[in-house]
Amino acid sequence: MTSYNTAGTVSAPLDLVRGEHESVTINGARRVAPKPKVTLTSLTVNNVGTLRKINNVVFPIVYSERFYSEVLEPSLDDVNKLVYYADIPVGACCCRIETGAKQDPPTLLILTLAVLAPYRSQGLGSALVRHALRSALHPTAPPAPTPPATGTATRAQLTQAPPRKVINRAIVHVQVGNNEAKHFYERLGFKENKILDNYYTSTRMEPRAAWMLVCDDIAAALGEEGANGA
C-alpha cells in the first residue's frame, strides 16, 4: 500500500534518547523539567529563510539560491527537515539523491547538517541524520504539487513526481580536521572511504580537503533486517 506524506507538516514529537529530563531548581526545590518537545518539519518556501539563517550561522560559506531551490524539491520532502526544539527552529539537514555513475547504486548525499551551538549534544543532529537515512530507505510518495496562487501552471508543474527508489547507501563529506563531526558520522554507521584534496573551493574553507564518509548499508546502520538483500 502506498503511504502519503503531507508537505510542510510537523512530525509527531521525537523520542530522543539523549536530552532527557533535566533536573532544575525552582524556588529552592529540585524539580524535573518535562522533556522538551522536538519535532521535524518539511522545508517549504515559507521556512526556507529560517534554514538559510541557520546555515549562515553554522557554516563559514554562503550557500547559493540554487542550493536552496534544489533542497526544496518536492521529491525530497520526506528527507530534508528542519528540527524544532520547544517550537524553536534550531537545526536542519539537507540532502540530495545522486544517481550519477552507473556502477554506483543510488545514493543519498548529505549536503548540510547544522544544529545551533546551544542546542547541540542532545541528539538532534543524530535524529536529523537518522530520519534522512530512514526516509531514503523507506521512500513515501512525494506530495502533490500545489497550483500557483496566480498565473497558470503547466501540466509538467502539476504532475506529481514518481516515488523514489529505495536507497541503501549514503555519503557525506566532512572537512579534514573536523574530528568531532567525523566521529559523529562513524557512530551513525559511516566509514571513511577516501580523502578528497581540494574538495572545498571557497577560500573560507581551510584546509580544503574533505573526508568522504560512506554508509554502504543504511538498513544495517539503522538496525533493520534485510540489509543489502541479505
Ligand X SMILES: CC(C)(COP(=O)(O)OP(=O)(O)OC[C@H]1O[C@@H](n2cnc3c(N)ncnc32)[C@H](O)[C@@H]1OP(=O)(O)O)[C@@H](O)C(=O)NCCC(=O)NCCS
Q: Is 112 in the site for ligand X (CB under 6 A)?
A: yes
Look at the chain and count its residues. 230
Is 54 or 142 the residue whose CB approaches ligand X more closely? 54
Q: Which residues contact 111 (CB under 8 A, 6 or more apart)?
A: 67, 71, 94, 95, 96
Residue 198 DSSP symbol: T
Q: Is 113 in the site for ligand X (CB under 6 A)?
A: yes
C-alpha cell at 213: 564518509
109: phi then psi, degrees, rounded to nearest 5: -105, 115
Among the listed ranges 25-33, 173-181, 192-200, 207-215, the one in contact with ligand X (CB under 6 A) is: 173-181
What's the min distance (Å) between Cβ of 45 and ligand X? Answer: 24
Among the listed ranges 29-37, 115-123, 206-214, 220-228, the one in contact with ligand X (CB under 6 A) is: 115-123
Among the listed ranges 4-12, 110-118, 150-158, 159-167, the one in contact with ligand X (CB under 6 A) is: 110-118
Report the SS3 class of residue 21: coil
172 strand-pairing partners: 110, 213
Q: Which of 58, 144, 220, 227 binds ligand X (CB under 6 A)?
A: 58
CB contact at 8 A, 187 and 156? no
Q: Is 174 in the site for ligand X (CB under 6 A)?
A: yes
Q: Give the residues lining the site for ligand X (CB under 6 A).
A: 18, 58, 112-115, 120-126, 174, 178, 180-181, 183-184
